[in-house]
């Protein structure tokens, strides 16, 4: 598996300094045992790693998320992956922009470049294998031929296990400043935005429509993490497997406009969301995405059930 991955050359846009992936991110919750159950039932592999939980997807040793314990749910840091020969350029850029370097947060061993974003959130740029996709992820919509049943017995339904972290959506105080900071410092590009309320950014070396997105709030926070699955069927079965375990609160099935992905969100025990996502738009390294600002009523979702009343509530406010 490792050998196969190593043989695939990551896509790269020459002459552009930009991070290529969200390598991992960190947040805290009050009870790691509850988190282990929630994310394990969601279909992730959740391992204990010292004082943290490490979240992986099946068959891949990559750690997408680390979770620590804290008094309340709280966004920690975000580590972006960069190509090795870009690190010195990023270091120079930080210096030229007068951005102060930090030590890694307590308990984190990493020799990447650490600093704070426009809202004070710790950010790292580290050398990492490109974990964002190098092509649009496979999406299956299989129709049974005539004379053959298309569905299986409910007792034989497969368990949904996401293939990779798709993106994260963070609360920020000022979306315009978030776009500016993450574009100028990290080299991300704006895919689409809506009226200062939300912005979606992609990686210039080839990534989904968004690696990271920002929603307006009066403070920072983690709104959702999104996990790529291969079909609408996987989304539906994922929603069912969570509901069966008591994680009924959610939003879906639906389809977004910006990014175009099919979705179902499951609310975690601390009010944020974990998204099953399929068929999100892809921006190749060779393509300039036609970025635009869209009216709110025309951009959130194309179809789906009514939005839960607390869908965009920032449960981290007041920390
Ligand atoms: Fe999402």
Per residue of the chain (319 residues), what is the pLDDT tens digit?
444 555 679 999 999 999 999 999 999 999 999 999 999 999 999 999 999 999 999 999 999 999 999 999 999 999 999 999 999 999 999 999 999 999 999 888 888 999 999 999 999 999 999 999 999 999 998 899 999 999 999 999 999 999 999 999 999 999 999 999 999 999 999 999 999 999 999 999 999 999 999 999 999 999 999 999 999 999 999 999 999 999 999 999 999 999 999 999 999 999 999 999 999 999 999 999 999 999 998 889 999 999 999 999 999 997 4
Specify whether the CB–CB gap between 282 and 135 falls below 8 A. Answer: yes
Ligand 1 centroid to 135 CA: how many Å?
19
Name the E strands within 111-220. Answer: 113-116, 122-127, 164-172, 189-194, 198-202, 207-208, 212-216
Q: How far apart are CA 264 and CA 261, in angstroms?
A: 10
Ligand 1 centroid to 27 CA: how many Å?
17
Ligand 1 centroid to 229 CA: how many Å?
12
Ligand 1 centroid to 31 CA: how many Å?
24
Ligand 1 centroid to 103 CA: how many Å?
30
Q: Which two tokens stand for residue 215?
A: 């929603």
Residue 216: what are its φ and ψ, rounded to 5°? -75, 135
Give the number of other CB atoms < 10 A from CB of residue 11.
18
| Residue 5 burial (C-beta neighbours within 10 Å; 0-12, 13-18, 19+) | middle
Specify whether the CB–CB gap between 252 and 234 falls below 8 A. Answer: no
Q: Pairing between strand 21-29 and 189-194? A: unpaired
Ligand 1 centroid to 217 CA: how many Å?
17
Ligand 1 centroid to 32 CA: how many Å?
23
> Which residues lie below 8 Å from residue 117, measured CB to CB, with a gap of 6+?
123, 178, 181, 182, 185
Q: Quick one: pLDDT at residue 142? A: 84
Give the number of other CB atoms < 10 A from CB of residue 78.
24
Q: Mark out the alpha helices in the chain (DSSP H runs).
A: 2-7, 32-42, 87-96, 175-184, 232-244
Ligand 1 centroid to 303 CA: how many Å?
15
Q: Which two tokens stand for residue 105?
A: 């947060």
Ligand 1 centroid to 284 CA: how many Å?
19
Ligand 1 centroid to 143 CA: how many Å?
27
Does an H or E element contain 283, and which?
strand 282-283
**In the sheet where 212-216 sits, what is the strand order?**
292-293, 189-194, 198-202, 212-216, 164-172, 221-228, 273-278, 262-267, 250-256, 301-303
Ligand 1 centroid to 241 CA: how many Å?
20
Ligand 1 centroid to 3 CA: how many Å?
31
DSSP 8-class letter at 109: -
Ligand 1 centroid to 275 CA: how many Å?
6
Q: How far apart are CA 276 and CA 261, in angstroms?
A: 10
Specify whether the CB–CB gap between 140 and 231 falls below 8 A. Answer: yes
pTM for the whole thing?
Answer: 0.95
DSSP 8-class letter at 85: G
Ligand 1 centroid to 168 CA: how many Å?
7
Ligand 1 centroid to 315 CA: how many Å?
17
Ligand 1 centroid to 91 CA: how many Å?
30
Ligand 1 centroid to 266 CA: how many Å?
11
Ligand 1 centroid to 155 CA: how many Å?
30
Ligand 1 centroid to 153 CA: how many Å?
30
Ligand 1 centroid to 169 CA: how many Å?
6
Ligand 1 centroid to 256 CA: how many Å?
9
Q: How far apart are CA 192 and CA 180, in angstroms?
A: 14
Ligand 1 centroid to 226 CA: how many Å?
5
């Amino acid at each position: 598996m490792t050998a196969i991955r190593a043989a695939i050359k990551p896509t790269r846009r020459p002459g552009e300094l930009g991070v290529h992936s969200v390598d991992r991110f960190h947040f805290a919750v009050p009870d790691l045992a509850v988190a282990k159950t929630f994310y394990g039932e969601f279909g992730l592999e959740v391992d204990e790693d010292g004082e943290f939980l490490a979240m992986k997807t099946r068959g891949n040793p990559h750690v997408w998320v680390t979770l620590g314990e804290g008094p309340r749910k709280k966004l920690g840091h975000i580590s972006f992956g960069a190509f090795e020969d870009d690190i010195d350029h990023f270091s120079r850029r930080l210096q030229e922009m007068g951005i102060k370097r930090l030590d890694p947060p307590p308990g984190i061993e990493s020799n990447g470049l650490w600093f704070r974003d426009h809202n004070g959130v710790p950010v790292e740029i580290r050398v990492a294998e490109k974990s964002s996709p190098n092509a649009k992820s496979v999406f299956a919509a299989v129709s049974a031929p005539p004379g053959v049943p298309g569905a299986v017995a409910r007792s034989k339904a497969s368990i949904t296990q996401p293939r990779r972290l798709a993106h994260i959506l963070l609360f920020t105080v000022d979306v315009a400043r978030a776009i500016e900071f993450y574009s100028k410092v990290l080299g991300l590009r704006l895919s689409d935005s809506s009226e200062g309320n939300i912005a979606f950014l992609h990686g210039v070396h080839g990534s989904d429509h968004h690696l990271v997105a920002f929603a307006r709030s009066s403070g920072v926070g983690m709104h959702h993490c999104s996990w790529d699955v291969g079909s609408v069927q996987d989304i539906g079965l994922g929603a069912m497997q969570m509901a069966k375990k008591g994680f009924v609160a959610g939003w879906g099935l639906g389809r977004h406009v910006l990014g175009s992905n099919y979705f179902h969100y499951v609310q975690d025990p601390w009010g944020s969301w974990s998204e099953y996502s399929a068929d999100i738009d892809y921006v190749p390294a060779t393509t300039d995405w036609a970025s635009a600002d869209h009216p709110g009523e025309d951009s959130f979702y194309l179809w789906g059930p009514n939005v839960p009343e607390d869908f965009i509530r920032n449960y981290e406010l007041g920390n």
